[in-house]
Amino acid sequence: MIPDDDVGRALPSFAQLPIRQGLPADSSWGVFGDEDELGTLNLLTAGRVVHASTLVRKGAVFRLDQPIGYAAPPLFERAPVRHTRISRRPFRNDDQLDNFNTQEGSQWDGLAHVGLPNLERYYNGVRAEEIGPDSVQKRLGIHRWANRFVGRGLLLDVCSFREEEGNPVDPLAAEEYTLGDLDSALRRQGCAITPGTILLVRTGWLAAYLRAAPDVKEAMASREKLTSCGLEPTREVAAWLWDNRIAAIAFDCPAAETWPWDMERGPLHYRTLGLLGLPLGEQFNLEELAEDSRGDGVWEGMLVSTPLYLMGGIASPPNAVFIK
């Protein structure tokens, strides 16, 4: 039974945004309060956490992170992490991670990751000087999410859907999955989105990347040379995400939308992180979960993610599991 919880159902529709004059078009600023720093994670209420726990039926646990350092070299020219063992006494060891970029692999983009350059603001009007570890306020820090990322997870395998339709996407090219693909894949899987769903979208990119030759991976590390499939970055997609009351959306590709970004239509990052306060996940490992779900026909489960408790952090590995 879906919990009797009005959070989400009572919110304005996308067509009713913004909620007052003077706020950016298509923004949810102020919907959850003028000081809000959680965005659509407010949809992950206690009742919905309890409901998510009832979706665990067989006790199968799927890790959604790739191993730290899996991308060699990391994408977008980020520095590789250095992992060393520190031995101060015989048979006593510590780990040390140097150069660790929290977005070097699987990640949640925090609300401080991407703002709106034309407005010089981040979600809910937060100013640049209010974010980051050196600021006094540490607004929109990833630490705000440390105990809030638990709810119903739903896997949407649009990659398999397109393959079954005889119209596959080349994951390593800048090809788009459309909003129609999402809706069609939902119908094919017999699934429904409920308020507070954490949506996982399998595009096929990660599997293609892992199969790629070392020289291809080397080239893909460059922002200029990387091309990737992703979701179309349209206003209609933003409306669909908001009106379906999705709490967060994660992909197995590197940029959520296609890369390079389509600046004429406007990046999905701007529409979600900056305007709606909706978290984006990237480079998630959805392969084992997808294989299991194709086998048993069960696409939903309990998703538990514990971002780094890093005060003023910009992003974090998801540290996430999907439990069926």
Domain coordinates in residue numbering, the chain = 14-80+95-323
Taking the CA atoms of the chain, what radius of gyration do you get in angstroms? 19
Written as one string, the DSSP assignment of 142-202 is: GGGGTTT-EEEEEEE-HHHHHHHTT----TTS-PEEPHHHHHHHHHHHT----TT-EEEE-
Tell whether the model's pLDDT for residue 3 goes beyond 70: no
Mean pLDDT along residues 67-73:
96
Question: pLDDT digit string (tens) for 208-259?
Answer: 999 999 999 999 999 999 999 999 999 999 999 999 999 999 999 999 999 9
Q: Which residues pair with 315 in a beta bridge?
A: 109
CA distance readout (Å), 262 to 169, 174, 232, 267: 18, 10, 9, 6
Q: Which residues pair with 257 in a beta bridge?
A: 231
Q: Whole-angstrom Cα distance, residue 185 to residue 83?
A: 40
Q: Is 4 left (phi over 0), alpha (psi -120 to 50) or beta?
A: beta
The CATH architecture of the domain made up of 14-80+95-323 is 3-Layer(bba) Sandwich (3.50)
Give the model's confidence band at 298: pLDDT under 50 very low, under 70 low, under 90 confident, else very high: very high
Q: Which helix (H) or strand (E) holds 96?
A: strand 92-98
Question: pLDDT digit string (tens) for 260-292?
Answer: 999 999 999 999 999 999 999 999 999 999 999
Pairing type for strands 280-282 and 107-109 reads antiparallel
- Count the Cβ atoms, other than its own, within 10 Å of residue 98: 10
- Our separate counts of H helices and E strands in the chain read 8, 13
Apex 69 CA angle, 132 and 251, nearest 5: 70
Q: What is the pLDDT, as a whole number, of residue 9? A: 62
Q: Whole-angstrom Cα distance, residue 287 to residue 289?
A: 5
Question: pLDDT digit string (tens) for 162-214?
Answer: 999 999 999 999 999 999 999 999 999 999 999 999 999 999 999 999 999 99
Amino acid code (one letter) for 266 = G
Tell me the three state secondary structure of residue 132. Answer: coil
Amino acid code (one letter) for 11 = L
Q: Which residues pair with 154 in a beta bridge?
A: 199, 300
